[in-house]
Amino acid sequence: MTQRAIDLWVGIFVAIGLAALLFLALKVGNLLKFNEDAHGYVIEARFDNIGNLKPRAPVRSAGVVVGRVESIALDGKTFEAVARLRIDNRFQFTRDTIAAIYTSGLLGEQFVGLEAGGDTVMLKDGDTLRKTQSAMQLEKLVSQFLFSRAADGPSGPAGATPAPTPPSSSSSGVKP
């Protein structure tokens, strides 16, 4: 094999490797739409706080991806975040479905979880979910915990009597 043929094959191999890396980066970032049905119905969910929820984040029910977050906007009148969710037509949810924002693992991506209720009327295109649960913010929980501990003071909760301290023993063996 000549040097020119070897250079050609190395170039092809490098190009395939770069294309594979690009594909994986787009797939991890939820920017590819392979095998996803663009059809479906859109519902809205209003949240007080969406945390780090992003467009194209998954919408899951029982751990199964049933749709994607299409867009996120702020309602200028109520100052609530309005998330438009595109749900695949294969999945029908009841009118009393609860939408909550969860995090995958401790530091993972955020997603919208749907928990179906017991109503007999199904959601249709353009409906708004009435029951929602906003995102839990780890920073807010930690600061509340630290603030409550600081308010308790060194002796414990307010109004609590400190436990008696045991008499100290001398480690040098010399008695006073």
Domain ranges of the chain: 1-32, 41-140
Q: How far apart are CA 12 and CA 161, in angstroms?
A: 76
Please, are residues 44 and 128 in contact by the beta-carbon 8 Å criterion? yes
Say which amino acid occupies 48. D
Q: How many residues does the chain have?
A: 176
Mean of per-residue pLDDT scores for the chain = 83
160 phi, psi to nearest 5 deg = -85, 140
Torsion of CA 85, 88, 92, 95, to 10 degrees: 10
Please, are residues 39 and 72 in contact by the beta-carbon 8 Å criterion? no
Question: For the chain, what percent of residues have pLDDT higher than 70?
Answer: 80
Q: How far apart are CA 67 and CA 85, in angstroms?
A: 7
Using CB atoms within 10 Å of the CB of residue 133, give its burial: 0 to 12 exposed, 13 to 18 middle, 19+ buried. Answer: middle
pTM of the complete model: 0.62
Q: How far apart are CA 92 and CA 49, in angstroms?
A: 26
Q: Which pLDDT band, with edges at 50, 70 and 90, does 174 fall under?
A: very low
Nearest to 113 by CA among 127, 103, 99, 97: 99
* Structure confidence by residue, pLDDT tens digits, 119-152: 889 999 989 998 998 887 777 778 888 888 777 7
